[in-house]
Structure 1
Amino acid sequence: MVGRRVGIVGAGFVGATAAYSLTMTGRCHEVVLYDINSDLAKGKAIDIGQSTSYSVRGTIVTAAEDAKDLKDCDIIVVTAGVPRKSDMTRADLLMINAKIMKDVVGNIMKYSPNAIIICVSNPLDIMTYVIHKMTGWNRNRIIGMAGALDGARMAYQINQKVGYGSGQTRAMLIGDHGQNMIPLPEISAVGGVPLDQIVTKEDMEDIIARTKDGGAEIVKYLGTSAYYAPGRAISVMVEAILDDSRIVMPSSVMLDGEYGYRDITVGVPVVLGANGVEKIIELELDEETKAKFKISVDSIQDGIDILKENDFFV
């Protein structure tokens, strides 16, 4: 267990829930919470730390007083960023969060140069691209957490529809983390039974629509974005890397010829293990899905182009 150190940048609801989930499973030796609001990080670290008496193992939970306290982490999860406000343009949001990411990444490179980075900050695919460009690291070490959450949301909608198979449902998606995500019901299953053998085409369309609206639905009721499902999705990815379990998980990764694209970060199925992305799995897509995937890629490229037009990468 010694040396299994996970840093979480951003101690808001998502970051703190990820930390709590990791302590409950006991998969890492130490979790370090870091936030620009140091009191927030301290308070949540104490609260989560006091819960570990009842967990599988006594995970150490600490708050970073300074970025240097993130040193020697095996994995760093980045949740930092600001949500879009009514008076913000898309370009405004992109530039603000990209600048935050530049500062965060600079600290990671300085204090944990061998870490694997899991990006959770939105807009996710674009921020994952920013991390790639800021670090210049091998692409297996930088992963965007999108499909783990969207897949869980799709699985939930499948279970709501069919009424059975909770815990046995596996859902696959590709594309961006947004309205252009592409659920793939033809390779999703309940207890190993293909989804298209269980539900009607109409039910499948409803499942897809509800999956895409999954985050907005929660905001409607809570007045804030989700954190339990994202937090658990993060911890599943962290555990897969620490345990070298080589699970298949859709994630936002840098493509280098796969699916016919290069220099773009987008969600595709990957194998997660000790080295981060152990393998990118290339699916055979029909023409309709290829067209949808292009729309998804183009939407991510539009955001990257905004950053380039504002000389962000100079």
Structure 2
Amino acid sequence: MKITVIGAGHVGATAAHRIAEKQLANTVVLLDIVEGIPQGKALDMYESGPVGLFDTMVFGTNDYSDTADSDIVLITAGLARKPGMSREDLLMKNAAIVREVTDQVMQYSKNPIIIMVSNPLDIMTHVGYVRSKLPKERILGMAGVLDSARFRSFIAKELNVSMQDINAFVLGGHGDSMVPVVKYTSVAGIPLTELLPQQTIDQLVERTRKGGAEIVNYLKDGSAYYAPAASCVEMIDAIVNDRKRILPCSALLEGQYGIDNIFIGAPVKLGKNGIEQILEINLDKPEIEALRKSAAIVEENCNNLAPLLA
């Protein structure tokens, strides 16, 4: 198993380290356009192996030929958000970056599974899909796992219970239009609505929607990376170990939820071949409407990118 991480910034480097520690690959390649950065970070990771008790080979490079025959490619390259900047503000600049990255990846790897992390997430997954020409099962975006993790952590803190007992789904686009599905949110099987008043639930939902911006506002110059990296690695673990995990990921919908030919967050089954199934769960009318509204925003932005992807 060979896994390549494109982008040696905070998310990429943290994800690469977690992949190595979990020994999810024989080889982890960390690639970045800045000379010395991926090489230095990768060497540092590799030297932690005797202490971290892993034997994964980690090396850094600026040359895409070193990514040849990758089984999984994690794309984190792109500009990070700054305070006051929406994910959509990054649209054109990051689309050009992701287009170039995807073209280079596909030059050296014939049939990888690509996991997109670059923002705006759902739109960049669309860019990767168009440029890579991969089957729809083999390209997906990391969003719902992260958003659900944030929702679960906020619930755990509010109730003072273990995060391990909380199940939650956040669907839709990765941004202010995301759709936390409260009806499928539970604590040790107990519906959240039986444990918290609606006003508190609404506050947690809103905080989840603003979760990324909350961290950006603290950091001033950069965005979240520990939780995004952990979320990426959970998806990679499901694929590498063929776990058949049901996780919310950005996937190409083809009629599910009344949405067609749009990448949007939905529950999927992840296994060794990527997306093995998209689950169409029963949503209430307001949730369906919110999901379709979220998809419409993604579709509009994707249409604006058509000239760039031609």
TM-score bracket relative to the smaller structure: over 0.9
User: RMSD of the TM alignment (CA)?
Assistant: 1.8
- The 2-side partners of 1:169 and 1:91 are apart by 31
2:309 paired residue among 266, 291, 313: 313
- The 1-side partners of 2:244 and 2:52 are apart by 25
- The 1-side partners of 2:53 and 2:169 are apart by 30
- The 2-side partners of 1:142 and 1:93 are apart by 21
- The 2-side partners of 1:90 and 1:222 are apart by 16
- The 1-side partners of 2:155 and 2:25 are apart by 32
1:32 match: secondary structure: strand
- The 2-side partners of 1:64 and 1:127 are apart by 23
Amino acid paired to 2:308: F
The residue aligned with 1:172 is 169
4+ runs deviating over 6 angstroms: 85-92
- The 1-side partners of 2:53 and 2:167 are apart by 26
The residue aligned with 2:302 is 304
Contact between 1:26 and 1:55, CA under 8 Å: does it hold in 2?
no
More displaced 10-residue stretch of structure 1: 247-256 or 196-205: 196-205
1:245 paired residue among 243, 248, 256: 243
Whether 2:104 is the aligned partner of 1:111: answer no
- The 2-side partners of 1:89 and 1:251 are apart by 20
With over 3 angstroms needed to count, the CA separation of the structure-2 counterparts of 1:163 and 1:128, relative to structure 1, is same
Q: How far is the alpha carbon of 1:86 from its aligned partner?
A: 8.8
- The 2-side partners of 1:9 and 1:119 are apart by 10
1:120 paired residue among 117, 122, 136: 117
The residue aligned with 1:285 is 283
Q: How far is the alpha carbon of 1:299 from its aligned partner?
A: 0.9
Amino acid paired to 2:208: T
1:179-218 matches, cutoff 5 A: 179-218=176-215
Whether 2:120 is the aligned partner of 1:151: answer no
- The 2-side partners of 1:25 and 1:66 are apart by 25
- The 2-side partners of 1:290 and 1:166 are apart by 27
1:76 match: secondary structure: strand
More displaced 10-residue stretch of structure 1: 279-288 or 139-148: 279-288
With over 3 angstroms needed to count, the CA separation of the structure-2 counterparts of 1:168 and 1:89, relative to structure 1, is closer
- The 1-side partners of 2:89 and 2:241 are apart by 39
- The 2-side partners of 1:158 and 1:86 are apart by 25
Q: Gaps (5+ residues) in structure 1?
A: none
The residue aligned with 1:229 is 227
- The 2-side partners of 1:250 and 1:301 are apart by 19
Q: How far is the alpha carbon of 1:222 from its aligned partner?
A: 2.1
The residue aligned with 1:163 is 160
Contact between 1:219 and 1:226, CA under 8 Å: does it hold in 2?
yes
- The 2-side partners of 1:89 and 1:168 are apart by 32
1:185 match: secondary structure: strand
1:186 match: secondary structure: strand
With over 3 angstroms needed to count, the CA separation of the structure-2 counterparts of 1:180 and 1:191, relative to structure 1, is same
Contact between 2:34 and 2:62, CA under 8 Å: does it hold in 1?
no
Q: Gaps (5+ residues) in structure 2?
A: none
1:226 match: secondary structure: coil
Contact between 2:242 and 2:271, CA under 8 Å: does it hold in 1?
yes
Contact between 1:25 and 1:55, CA under 8 Å: does it hold in 2?
no
- The 1-side partners of 2:208 and 2:41 are apart by 31
Amino acid paired to 1:171: A
- The 2-side partners of 1:58 and 1:180 are apart by 42
- The 1-side partners of 2:88 and 2:139 are apart by 24
- The 1-side partners of 2:160 and 2:296 are apart by 37
| TM-score normalised per structure 1 | 0.94
- The 1-side partners of 2:87 and 2:176 are apart by 15
| TM-score normalised per structure 2 | 0.95
Amino acid paired to 1:71: A
Q: How far is the alpha carbon of 1:166 from its aligned partner?
A: 2.0
The residue aligned with 1:136 is 133
- The 2-side partners of 1:302 and 1:258 are apart by 19
Q: How far is the alpha carbon of 1:56 from its aligned partner?
A: 4.2
Amino acid paired to 1:144: G
1:49 match: secondary structure: helix
